[in-house]
Structure 1
Amino acid sequence: MRWENLYVAGTGSALPSRIETAQDAVAAGRYTDRARAVSGYRAVRVAAEDEPGPVLAARAGRQALERSGLRPEDVGLVLHAYSGHQGRDVWSPASYVEHEVLGGGGAPAYEVRQGCNGGLSALELAASHLTARPGSKAALITSGDAFHLPYLDRWNTDEQMVYGDGGGAAVLSTGGGIARILATASVSDSSLEIMDRGLGPWTRAPFEGGRAVDLRARKRDYFEAAENDFAFEEVLARLQKGSSAAVDEALSDAGRDLASVRWCVHTTFPEPIAQSAVRGPLGFTREATPYDWLLEHGQLGAGDQLVGLHHLVETGAPEPGDLLLAYGVGAGHVWTVAVLEFTPELRP
């Protein structure tokens, strides 16, 4: 979808102060040297007991709103994305974020549950809202996750993936900003959802049996139960097809090509996947991404792209006129790609 007069007006992030290195995890018996060497993750941020995902999201949201120069009453929608437990069961973390950032000004607040693609999914949904409602000035999107034992083992829950705690945010505006949103595209292949669901029985409640979430076992069960020897190759082909389709559609709608894009922010995959599935096929160097910096923080649930974009802006790396491609994929599977162009407001 090509967007007109739609901008990122401000960005924000909230990263806990406590750092746990991969070496710390190895010494504690929670990680292995081999896994550390393969994945490339060097450290994660670990949230305190009073820093669940919505608290981190609200902190990032306040920063994004301040950087945007807009007022709380200008925001007509709040979308909060997350992957894991939000500090309470059966409540609305999105409404908490709205109240903490906007003071309960009345903007509708909704949750977005799309795994690692949550932040970009929220961006595209917010873009649709602002375009469909000419009177709307701005929307706030946030992400926030904190991954703790015994519910989730950040070092072992998923194959090669290591999860870090943090919050990200962006304010979208129809009145200008630091980056213009040229286009977004989302592509789905729901035949792949079973890899994250697994083949086991349904559970009646979260954390049933007191066992930590084990996404590795779910994938392993799926592949071991496959009816032929080509299941893995078929999955790879579907993943590559969905990824290419989302990238091609977003660039086509933006009227740009990959050669003209200078920057990329993507899900903080382990190094082999980041290279084979994103940077390699798209032709980006590591230096064109905040990836090395993110390896010091882990995979931030729904917020890699929001936090990565904020980091690029804060470091002053992009120049007005530079193009950025934001790439995400989440369980389901849904890919979302956004093409942004930095504006002169980046250098006020």
Structure 2
Amino acid sequence: MRWDGVHIAATGVWLPGRLSAEEAVAAGAYDADEHAANRIVSVAAAETEADGGPSAPEMAVRAARTALRRAGAAAERVSAVFHSHVWFQGADMWTPASYVADRTAGSGVPAFGLQQSCNAGVSSLELGARHLEVGGAVLLTTADRFSGPSFDRWRCERGLVYGDAGTALVLSSVGGFARLLSTSTAVDNSLEAISRPASPVADPSEARRPLDLSALADDYVRANGDPRRLTLRTAQVADASVRQALADADTRMEDVSRVVLNATGRSRMRWQLELQLGLNEKMSNWEFCSEAGHLGAGDHFAGLDDLVRSGQVLPGDRVLLVGGGTGYSCTSAVVEITESAHRPE
């Protein structure tokens, strides 16, 4: 979908300290072969609440306050909050989106929680842009803390390591440092079983813990045949999303200055970049990914923030965001930088 008059007023990120991947290997927490293939240097890891660390929704609040401070006048016009997450937010049958909204945009601003897995951050751009058809501004947030014993950040999924973060982005109809030119979402709902046990349990206490997404994917492949066919099907969804987003933005792939993908390990990211998109590694934000890890739904807001705040993209540059999450869904977005945001706080 093509967008006119939709701007990115600001981004904000809250990242905790880092855990060394080499030290995790030495301690037996991280597989040495995975480390060699992924080339992950470190991963963002928050202290537990018992040790004084913030909850996942509180990380979103911290990131949102940064984004709202940077957004200027747009911060006063927020008419909705969309909060995305992948993992547990701290309580059952609770609405973390309302918590985030109350502590940032205000107690009277409608808040919505999104469940699009690791694609949720980018897909919230599309939902937020639709909301902006009535004007004003929208606050988009993500947050996750991938802590044990129910979640093992180092071993949950082959090809990546999960990191903790809160991220935020303010969409506005009254200007900003970038324009949202287009978004496009493609899905294949028949692939939802990749992350679902063959025999779902009736009670959460019976669920397999720690969560092992690689084992679930292996089970799916054994039940459904050739793994190459599965790879092709997910690649087709991503390809359809990317092609439509570029077409709607009147942008060729060679016009793209940088690309932000889900933050995977190096071998998986290079496969996506080179084989799927025909781009080389220097077009990505690999250095940031290798130090922070996969931030659940927050990779794209954090990745864009890093590119902009560090001056790696300048006015006139176009950035392609490509999401992807179990379900299976993929949302792509084309963003054009219009003003420099490379400045001290």
TM range (shorter): over 0.9
Do structure 1's residue 188 and structure 2's residue 190 form an aligned pair? no
Aligned to 2:94: 91
CA distance in 2, matches of 1:90, 1:220: 31
Q: Secondary structure in 1 aligned to 2:270? A: helix
Q: Deviations over 1:128-162 (max 9, x none)?
A: 1112x2xx310000110000111110001112221
Aligned to 1:235: 230
What is the deviation of 1:347?
6.7
Change (3 A) 1:295 1:2: same
Do structure 1's residue 68 and structure 2's residue 71 form an aligned pair? yes
Do structure 1's residue 29 and structure 2's residue 32 form an aligned pair? no
Do structure 1's residue 129 and structure 2's residue 131 form an aligned pair? yes
Aligned to 1:255: 250
CA distance in 2, matches of 1:243, 1:116: 13
CA distance in 1, matches of 2:199, 2:294: 26
1:286/1:292 contact within 8 Å kept: no
CA distance in 2, matches of 1:275, 1:71: 37
Count of aligned residue pairs for this structure pair = 339
Q: Deviations over 1:238-277 (max 9, x none)?
A: 1121111001100111111111110111101222221112
Q: 1:167-182 maps to which residues of 2 (within 5 A)?
A: 167-182=166-181
Tell me how large the CA RMSD over aligned residues is.
Answer: 1.6
Calculate the TM-score normalised by the size of structure 1: 0.93
CA distance in 2, matches of 1:210, 1:328: 27
What is the deviation of 1:103?
3.5
What is the deviation of 1:346?
4.1
CA distance in 1, matches of 2:323, 2:300: 8
2:235/2:276 contact within 8 Å kept: no
Selected match of 1:284 from 251, 265, 279: 279
Counterpart residue type for residue 3 of structure 1: W
CA distance in 1, matches of 2:202, 2:73: 44
1:320/1:347 contact within 8 Å kept: no
Aligned to 2:122: 120
CA distance in 1, matches of 2:141, 2:179: 18
Counterpart residue type for residue 2 of structure 1: R
Identity among equivalent positions (%) equals 38
What is the deviation of 1:337?
0.3
Q: Deviations over 1:5-30 (max 9, x none)?
A: 0000000000012x211112112211
Calculate the TM-score normalised by the size of structure 2: 0.94
What is the deviation of 1:44?
0.8
2:308/2:340 contact within 8 Å kept: no
CA distance in 2, matches of 1:279, 1:181: 25
Change (3 A) 1:254 1:291: same
2:310/2:342 contact within 8 Å kept: no
Do structure 1's residue 54 and structure 2's residue 57 form an aligned pair? yes
Counterpart residue type for residue 186 of structure 1: T
CA distance in 2, matches of 1:295, 1:195: 26
Aligned to 1:274: 269
CA distance in 2, matches of 1:187, 1:276: 20
What is the deviation of 1:345?
5.4
Q: Which runs of 5+ in 2 are unaligned?
A: none
CA distance in 2, matches of 1:213, 1:114: 18
1:177/1:345 contact within 8 Å kept: no
What is the deviation of 1:71?
5.5
CA distance in 1, matches of 2:112, 2:274: 32
Q: Which runs of 5+ in 1 are unaligned?
A: none
